[in-house]
Structure 1
Amino acid sequence: MAFIKKIFLKKRIILFISVAVLFLLLHSTPNTALRTKVFFMGYPKAALTSPIIDDVYHNEVDKDQFAEMNAKAYTLTKPPIEKATQGELRNYVVKRLGFIYFAEYYGEG
């Protein structure tokens, strides 16, 4: 019985480490964090194919706010279209927390 518990514990540890490594890989750069966000928003095609560029306008206008947040704005050049409103999900802000990045939809404004 102790042998089975050891195997079960090893499998749980391997699963935990695998999930942690996957999370770190998906949030290791601003681009991968942004693509991960778009993918989990329900737009896998746009997440994998849309080119990402710096959002020069928002980075300049909101420079002070972004500096406080340790963030930068990015734009998808081929953004997904939101199903409910038919609006383009173009602009995102990516925040850096330590050595990982998290993306949020920023809107058009």
Structure 2
Amino acid sequence: MNFIKKLNVKKEVIFFIVIAIIFLLLHSTPSTAIRTKVFFMGYPNAAVTSPIIDDEYHNEVDNDKFAELNAKAYTLTKPPIEKATQGELRNYLVRKFGFLHFAEYYGEG
């Protein structure tokens, strides 16, 4: 009986380690953070296939704000189309916390 408890605890620890590793990998670079965000927004095809480039316009215009946030803007060159508004989900802001990157939709403005 004691052996089974130890086995279950080992399985739980391994499960949580695997989840932590996956999380770290999905947030290790700006592009993987954007792809993860787009995937979980419900656009898996765009998350995998759309090229990502620096958003030079927003990075220049909002330079001071981005420096304060430790962030940088990126653009999907083949963005997904939002179902409700038919708008392109093109621009994303990636903030860096330590060695992790987190993306959020930035909009057009």
Q: TM-score range by the shorter chain?
A: over 0.9
Name the SS of the counterpart of 1:67 in structure 2.
helix
Q: Which residue of 2 aligns with 1:94?
A: 94
How far apart, in 2, do the equivalents of 1:108 and 1:2 lie?
A: 59
How far apart, in 2, do the equivalents of 1:41 and 1:13 lie?
A: 29
Quote the RMSD (CA, aligned, Å). 0.4
Where structure 2 has 5 or more consecutive residues not aligned to the other structure, the ranges are none
Where structure 1 has 5 or more consecutive residues not aligned to the other structure, the ranges are none
Q: Which residue of 2 aligns with 1:61?
A: 61
Aligned length: 109
How far apart, in 1, do the equivalents of 2:4 and 2:68 lie?
A: 51
How far apart are residue 108 of structure 1 and its match? 0.6
How far apart, in 1, do the equivalents of 2:84 and 2:7 lie?
A: 47
How far apart, in 2, do the equivalents of 1:53 and 1:99 lie?
A: 20
Name the SS of the counterpart of 2:19 in structure 1.
helix
How far apart, in 1, do the equivalents of 2:106 and 2:2 lie?
A: 52
How far apart are residue 2 of structure 1 and its match? 1.0
Name the SS of the counterpart of 1:8 in structure 2.
helix
Name the SS of the counterpart of 2:8 in structure 1.
helix
TM-score, normalized by length of structure 1?
A: 0.99
How far apart, in 1, do the equivalents of 2:51 and 2:100 lie?
A: 21
TM-score, normalized by length of structure 2?
A: 0.99
